[in-house]
Amino acid sequence: MTAPTTSAPTADQEPGRPGPKDTDDAFDHDRLPTPPGATALLLRSLLAPMRARVTVTTLLLLLQQAAVQAGPLLVAYAIDRAVPAFRDHDNGPLIAVGAGYLLCALASGGLQYAFILASARVNQDVLLDLRGRIFRHAQALSIDFHERYTSGRLISRSTTDVESLRELLSEGLQELVTVILSFLYISALLLWLDLGLGAVAVASFVPLYLLVRVYRQRAGRVYQKRSTAIAAVIVKFVETMNGIRPVRAFRREAANDADFAVLNKRHERVNGDALLEMARYVVGSRLVANAAVAGIVLWGAYRVAQDSLELGVLAAAVLYLRRLYDPIDRLGMFLNSYQSAAASLEKIAGLLAQTPTVPEPSVPRQLPALGSSDRPGREVVFEGVSFGYRTGGEVLPRFDLTLPAGQTVAVVGSTGAGKSTLAKLLARFYDPSGGRILLDGVDLRELAMPELRRGVVMVTQEAFLFSGTVAENIAIGRPDAGREEIERAAKAIGAHDFISALPDGYDTDVRKRGGRISAGQRQLVAFARALLADPAVLILDEATSSLDVPGERAVQRAMATVLRGRTAVVIAHRLSTVEIADRVLVMEHGRIVEDGTPAELVAGTGRFADLHRAWRDSLA
Amino acid sequence: MKTLLRLWPYVRPARARLFTAAFVAVLASCTGLVIPLVLKWMVDGPVADGDTAGVWLGALYLLLLGFAEALLFGLRRWLVARPLSHVEAEMRAGLYRHLQRLPVAFHDRWASGQLLSRATTDLMLLRMFLAFPLTFLLVNSVTILVGVIIMLLQDWALGLVILGPAIPVVVTCVIFEKRYAGVARLAQDQVGDLTTVVEESVLGIRIIKGFGRHRSQARAFRELSGTLRGTELRKAGLLATIWGVIVTLPEVAIGAALVLGCVQVADGELSAGTLVAFLSTALALRWPVDSIGFLLAMSQEAATATERYFEAMDEVPEQETCSSRAAGPHRPADGLRFHDVRFRYPDAPEDSPPVLDLIDLHIRPGESMALVGATGSGKTTLTALVPRLHELTSGRITLDGEDITAMPRQELRSRVAVAFEDPTLFSVSVGDNVLMGADERELDRALSVAQADFVHALPQGTDTQVGEQGLSLSGGQRQRLALARAVVGTPRFLVLDDPLSALDVHTEAAVEAALRDVLADTTALIVAHRPSTVQLADRVALLSGGRITAVGTHHELLRTNAEYAHLMSGSGDSGEGEDTR
């Protein structure tokens, strides 16, 4: 038996999937094009609503640092003033020092407490806002985006990338501000204590700054390599675990171990490089800092010996110096988290800069009220509709089509003929490139989402189950439905028996033990969902591919009874599905080549007649 | 915390470096503590005497000590950088190796995300723990001890004052650690829940959009992320308290020591140099004391990570039931036999009815047998038993008379090739996806059998990358690749799980034509829903109620078996279908 093959390469792609033609774009890489300045704009818009709280938080940190840095100053005062005064039986200054120190201690502790709480609130609110934005935006983006941007990338945008920003906010940023503030405070105090000593300390910042700059460049490169290396490890790992059945059945364990070892080794090496880079930085900065301390002590001590400097001032300077250079290591760590957070934020900004190609209407219209309950369907009109991807390549040339209310229309044709695209246009997963689609005279683009979904519902081939119970999964069709309605829908579709046989019946968690649900059963659940939604127009896109014939019959029965009078568009490979249709459309290369009742087409000499004969033969 | 001891076997190879590094770190910290002593010597000696040469000498000492400290800290990091990366990598490779060999039932239970977080975040936490808290808990304890001794030696009264807050700080730390561990674990779990919602909202996007449910999804997300925010704020509250205590108490003690010290200096009981040295020592101990809180928190997290790691590592991998076998006598071809096969999922309750109950079936050599049954009757489960992806509860399966449990799994799986219902592609080239390690010359034949010639039209032909990192293919295309994968290397036994469900009629017909040649001399078990697929097979077995209830040719069964006729053509209820047309 020779069947017409679908060898034409371009016709062999499922519409809506990236074909060879449009793969060479930004979607191939992890990075979406980020408009210049989008990252800064995002950051600003996240922080803008919290301006007042950010100011308060910064103020708290300013005060806290002031309290912390007052300590050595009090030491200097105690040694140079309070001790001589005490010798002269004047207790005042010493008591003042004691009280001052106590006050500083309490203030720095209390302010630290207040600051951590305040900054945590700001951080958490920024993260809450950002998480929500990514989530809502991803949900608002149209199906064609989701088809091109793999789920893994989208998930890592809202998990790992948000996480790296969280690390920066919760640890890094506070660190940076503390470091800068203490640098400023200490430099100012040192200059005030003694201009010369202070100047030497400030001068030591120059080599430190150069060191930080070099480290930033070198570490930046290493960290980029490291994140690429770990990403490769993650992909290999996840793929192996998700594809464990083929891995086992085709004995790939040893080969996988070897492949993984290469990736893992590469990550190990780059990881080591990053740690060594850090080690170099630590040595360099410590050397500069300790040399500066020695130099300042030398000069200070020399001057004390010559009586041109007071001992207390020297003591305070030394105490300050230790504090001055302490945070340098932490500055390195901050740079690390800053770099990874900046990269993440850029990726997030790129995602958020994507505009939904199927936007919600600004002034939504209502669908006209349905005439009566025995005519629950709606009329669908494709008016001069054409469709092509933005990257070029026309999928559906301009066509007109009217589906009267209540009609069941089957669409057949080979893979790539444009059937799914037709369905997705009607479900408004895409908007047409030209023309318009009317539902009872209203353009789909003018309908708000809830209104549209009361009108049109689509059931697809991939029957995904959300975590939760079976009942909850069916209730997605209509969240306010009661248990009785859910069971009625399941019964109508023939899913009640298998659901009742599950360990907890309708309350069985689909992700837990014993919740194994086969592909066919998942499709039945998907149907029950659609039945419960009770739309005016129902689209079934290969929705019965994993069902056996009785399952398919149950679906057909339900459509004939429960969904009687609804407008239905049924896309199927199987001609058994077509039998119940009032009308059949045969599509080829994006065009409707045959249109008529099943009987008319079978009697004719077209492609459908050929297909039908072959199918009848298989049953005989 | 005790679970951390389980890390020892992995750390062992790096132990020499690790211990040296800890020793070097102690040395470096103590060098830091000597610096105030040099200061004291300078203040009380050369500075008081106006001895400029002595001042130069003191500064030189300081410089040398400073260089030593810097180099020692660098040395510590250099010592552990590579070995610890290696420990991390080894643990990851070990986990990967182990997970690949765990029973499929384990993978059914565990989401890949859960396993991934063990292989990445948890292992990074452990490396950080080994590099930092482990060393520094030791180093800081030694530093604090030495520092306190130095201070006590200089002036025991002042030393005791400084020691004053030690007990309340330690008590606060202990209380904090317990509470923090609880809240931290809660936050981890909530992040996991949030991730699940994100994952599902992306994977189920067509359903959410198809039913216009994005508002309720967004609400669920908002609630969860709000809860997480609350938990994070509780964490922050705990952190704020501990920091407040850790900052305030030692600072108060230092203030008290300062006043007391000044009185003593004024009375001449203490030299000014000693006071300076004492205070700088006290300040040098600030970081070691402050850090104990977060070092303990990090250790706690590392302990949780270790626990999570070993949760997966403690699972028992598939055991070989036979000792390695010399090539046995050549057995006569006998095909594939199921003897009284019974199967219940290992995680199902003991008293639940088995999925498959006493299956008896013989597929003769070279014969292809279609397996037909209602939705959910256990067809896919039955196919998974042949390559031992699941273990039989009881009964036997034989290949050419040889029990499948009597041969090594590798050999069994080399004899039986499988095409799965859900075709998984890996992130390698299309060609490698089909070959799965087999000889490259097999590729073209396999592709043409599966009518997968479309791969030649891909941008880089058979070298085109597919999967998560490459080109995405349609369901029908993936299914054909999975089929091509199964026929590579002309295996003696083929198991095909509904291999044509996602193909359109034309392609299906073409695949069937090509597959017929392959099936002519292969022993095959083919799960089928459709008459067209069934017709590929020589005979059909009907699976019903966990048993094989009928075996025969398609036409025989259509005539004689009502259930089969019902499954194949929907007869028995077609009258109703006619009415409603």
**Do A407 and A345 belong together in one domain?**
no
CB contact under 8 A, A579 and B577: yes
Length of chain B: 581
Q: Does B485 touch chain A (CB under 8 A)?
A: yes
CB-based contact A110:B247 (threshold 8 Å):
no
In total, chain A counts a number of residues equal to 620
Q: Report the SS3 class of residue B363.
A: strand
- Chain A residues in contact with B104 by the CB 8 A cut-off are 244-245, 248
**What are the domain boundaries of chain B?**
2-155+270-313, 336-575
Q: Is A283 contained in some domain?
A: yes
Amino acid at A566: R
Chain B touched by A261 (CB under 8 Å)? yes
Q: Which of A195-199, A392-396, A408-412, B70-74 has the lowest mean pLDDT?
A: A392-396
Closest CA to B552 of B533, B536, B538: B538
pLDDT at A2: 36
Q: Which of B317, B137, B498, B478 is nearest to A523 (CA)?
A: B498
Distances B447 to B226, B454, B518 between C-alpha atoms, Å: 52, 9, 12
Q: What is the pLDDT of residues A164-206, one digit of tens each?
A: 888 888 777 777 788 888 888 888 888 888 888 888 888 888 8
CB A109 within 8 A of CB B251: yes
Residue A85 lies in a domain: yes
Question: Does residue A375 fall inside a structural domain?
Answer: no
Confidence of residue A10 (pLDDT cuts 50, 70, 90): very low
What is the Cα–Cα distance from B552 to B536, expressed in whole angstroms? 14
Write the DSSP symbol of residue A194. -
- In this structure, which topology does domain B2-155+270-313 adopt according to CATH? ABC transporter transmembrane region fold (1.20.1560)
In three-state form (DSSP H/G/I as H, E/B as E, the rest C), the secondary structure along A589-615 is CCEEEEEECHHHHHHCCCHHHHHHHHH
Mean of all residue pLDDT scores within chain A: 82
Burial of B236 (0-12, 13-18, 19+ CB in 10 A): buried
Of A106-120, A124-138, A140-154, B301-315, the poorest mean pLDDT is in A140-154
d(CA B492, CA A494): 39
B509 to chain A, any CB pair closer than 8 A? The answer is yes
A303, A393: one domain: no
Here the tokens at position A340 are 């990874």
* pLDDT for the residue A11: 32
Q: Which phi and psi angles does A16 have, rounded to 5°?
A: 95, -10
Report DSSP state, residue B113: H
DSSP structure class, residue A161: I
In terms of Cα–Cα distance, which of A203, A183, A207, A206 is closest to A296?
A203
Under 8 Å between Cβ of B184 and B235: yes
Q: Which of A174, A172, A154 is nearest to A164 (CA)?
A: A172
Q: Does a structural domain hold residue A21?
A: no
Contacts of B67 in chain A (CB under 8 A): 287, 290-291
Is A41 in the same domain as A187? yes
- Do the Cβ atoms of A548 and B404 come closer than 8 Å? no
ipTM score for this prediction: 0.84
Chain A positions in Cβ-Cβ contact with residue B213 (cut-off 8 Å): 476, 479
Please list, in sequence order, all residues whose beta carbon lies within 8 angstroms of the beta carbon of residue B213, skipping any fewer than 6 positions away. Answer: A476, A479, B207
Give the domain range for residue A538.
380-619
CA distance A235 to A241: 10
A247-272 pLDDT tens trace: 888 888 888 999 999 999 999 999 89
Bridge partners for A100 per DSSP: none
Per-residue pLDDT band for A325 (boundaries 50, 70, 90) equals: confident
Same structural domain, A278 and A398: no
Q: Say if the Cβ atoms of A78 and B39 lie within 8 Å.
A: no
Q: Which helix or strand (DSSP H or E) is residue A399 part of?
A: strand A394-403
CA dist A164 to A158, A167, A290, B536, Å? 10, 5, 33, 54
Here the CATH number for the domain that contains residue A195 is 1.20.1560.10
**A129: chain B residues, CB-CB within 8 Å:** none
SS (H, E, C) B412-449: HHHHEEEECCCCCCCCCEHHHHHHCCCCHHHHHHHHHH
Give the percent of chain B with pLDDT over 90: 17
User: Tokens representing A578?
Assistant: 């077509």
Query: Which of residues A336, A352, A368 is at a domain's end?
Result: A352
Report how far apart, in Å, the C-alpha atoms of A343 and of each of A47, A224, B501 are: 18, 9, 43
- Least Cα separation, residue B329 to chain A (angstroms): 24
Q: What was the pLDDT predicted at A372?
A: 64
Q: B 153-212 residues with CB below 8 A of A?
A: 194-196, 198-212
Q: Looking at the domain assignment, is residue A178 inside a domain?
A: yes
Distance of CA A580 to the CA centre of its chain: 42
Q: Which residues of A touch B262 (CB under 8 A)?
A: 78-79, 82-83, 86, 94, 97
* Cβ atoms B514, B448 nearer than 8 A: yes
DSSP per-residue string spanning A522-579? HHHHHHHHHHHH--SEEEEESTTTT--HHHHHHHHHHHHHTTTT-EEEEE-S-HHHHT
Q: How many Cα atoms occupy the beta-carbon half-sphere of B300 within 13 Å? A: 19
Does residue A109 belong to the interface with chain B, where contact is any CB pair within 8 Å?
yes
Are A339 and A416 found together in one domain?
Answer: no
- Are the beta carbons of B186 and B227 closer than 8 angstroms? no
Ordered DSSP codes for A241-264: HHTHHHHHHTT-HHHHHHHHHHHH
CA distance A396 to A404: 21
Q: How many domains does chain A have?
A: 2
Contact B574 A83 (CB under 8 A): no
Task: Give the residue carrying structure tokens 């626990």.
Answer: B307
Measure the CA–CA gap between A237 and A242, rounded to whole angstroms: 9
Closest of B118, B105, B115, B111 to residue B316, by C-alpha: B105
Same domain membership, residue A311 and residue A186 = yes
Same domain, A346 and A238: yes
Inter-chain CB pairs, A–B, below 8 Å: 546
- Do A549 and A596 lie in one domain? The reply is yes
Q: If you average pLDDT over residues A581-606, what whole number do you get?
A: 87
Looking up residue A597, the CATH number of its domain turns out to be: 3.40.50.300
What element of type H or E holds A382?
strand A380-388
User: Three-state SS for B133?
Assistant: helix
Do both A448 and A326 map to the same domain? no
Cβ-Cβ contacts under 8 Å, B111 against chain A: 511
Decide if A25 is inside a domain. Answer: no
Does residue B562 belong to the interface with chain A, where contact is any CB pair within 8 Å?
no
What token pair was written down for B393?
């509860």
Positive or negative, the Cα torsion across B111, B116, B119, B120? negative
pLDDT in tens, B340-358: 999 988 777 777 788 888 8
pLDDT digits (tens, 9 = 90+) for B481-522: 889 988 887 888 999 988 887 777 778 888 888 888 888 888
Domain shared by A55 and A138, yes or no: yes
Is B375's CB within 8 Å of A556's CB? no
Q: Which fold has domain B336-575?
A: Rossmann fold (3.40.50)
A332 touches A216 (CB < 8 A): no
Spell out which residues of chain B touch residue A261, defining contact as CB-CB under 8 Å. Answer: 93
Assess A333–B contact: CB distance below 8 Å, yes or no. Answer: no
pLDDT tens per residue, range A216-242: 888 878 877 887 788 788 878 888 887
Using alpha carbons only, give the angle B315, B317, B323 rounded to the nearest 5 degrees: 145
Task: Give a yes or no: residue A14 inside a domain.
Answer: no
Residues A258 and A393 in one domain: no
A174 vs chain B: nearest CA distance in angstroms? 13
User: In this structure, is residue A452 part of a structural domain?
Assistant: yes
Please give the residue of chain A at the shortest CA–CA distance from B99: A241
Q: Which residue of A has its CA nearest to B202?
A: A151
Tens of pLDDT, residue by residue over B460-479, are 888 888 766 566 677 778 88
Helices (H) and strands (E) in chain B, counts: 24, 10
Same domain, yes or no: A462 and A582: yes
Residue among A235, A264, A318 whose CB faces B469 most closely = A235
| Distance from C-alpha of A474 to C-alpha of A453, rounded to nearest angstrom | 16
Closest CA of chain A from B188, distance in Å: 12
Structure-derived torsion over alpha carbons of residues B531, B532, B536, B541, reported in degrees to the nearest 10: -20
A69 and A182 Cβ atoms separated by less than 8 Å: yes
Tell me the average pLDDT of chain B: 84
User: CB distance B420–A230 less than 8 Å?
Assistant: no
What is the average pLDDT across B148-157? 85
**Spatial CB neighbours of A359, under 8 Å, sequence gap ≥ 6:** none
